[in-house]
Structure 1
């Protein structure tokens, strides 16, 4: 099964110049066949958020200086 390495940054903030500042980062291997729900579950387990009472907002930085895209 092929996997994609994804870096997850969390517990930080986006600043006024569209950079993610502070927080922590972990690398995870995501199966290419993963669904969106599977990706959310994987991210939750890696960063230690087990309850469904927390909302995860994922964004992808496409290019420096450009607004991040919400996934």
Structure 2
């Protein structure tokens, strides 16, 4: 098994409720290569979900632990943080 690849679950088409929980979402899996940068990860996600990023804006958010608010990843450092969260 390649230790640089992970399967991650993407929750999408949902909404954040007033308590900070993501609800009413669809879920789909994608392979995450820890060597790719932010743009590559966003391309992987948009391709898997069939989202045209020239029309729609994607945001990558994740929850580190409850009850923390969601973190937004918007660059390569955010993707590296996601990698660290997946490992530990």
More helix by share: 2
TM over 0.5: yes
Q: Which residue of 2 aligns with 1:14?
A: 16
Q: TM-score, normalised by structure 1?
A: 0.89
Ranked by relative contact order (alpha carbons within 8 Å, sequence separation 6 or more), the top structure is 1
The one of 1, 5, 14 aligned to 1:3: 5
Q: TM-score, normalised by structure 2?
A: 0.74
8 Å contact 1:7–1:28 — kept in the other structure?
Answer: yes
The one of 41, 48, 63 aligned to 2:50: 48
Q: 1:51 to 1:57 in 2, by over 3 A?
A: closer
How big is the alpha-carbon RMSD for the aligned residues of Structure 1 and Structure 2?
1.2
8 Å contact 1:11–1:23 — kept in the other structure?
Answer: yes
**Does residue 57 of structure 1 match 2:59?**
yes
1:51, distance to aligned residue in structure 2 (A): 4.1
8 Å contact 1:17–1:65 — kept in the other structure?
Answer: no
| Number of equivalences | 71
Structure 2 gaps of 5+ residues are 74-88
Structure 1 gaps of 5+ residues are none
Secondary structure at the aligned position of 2:55 is classed as coil
More strand by share: 1
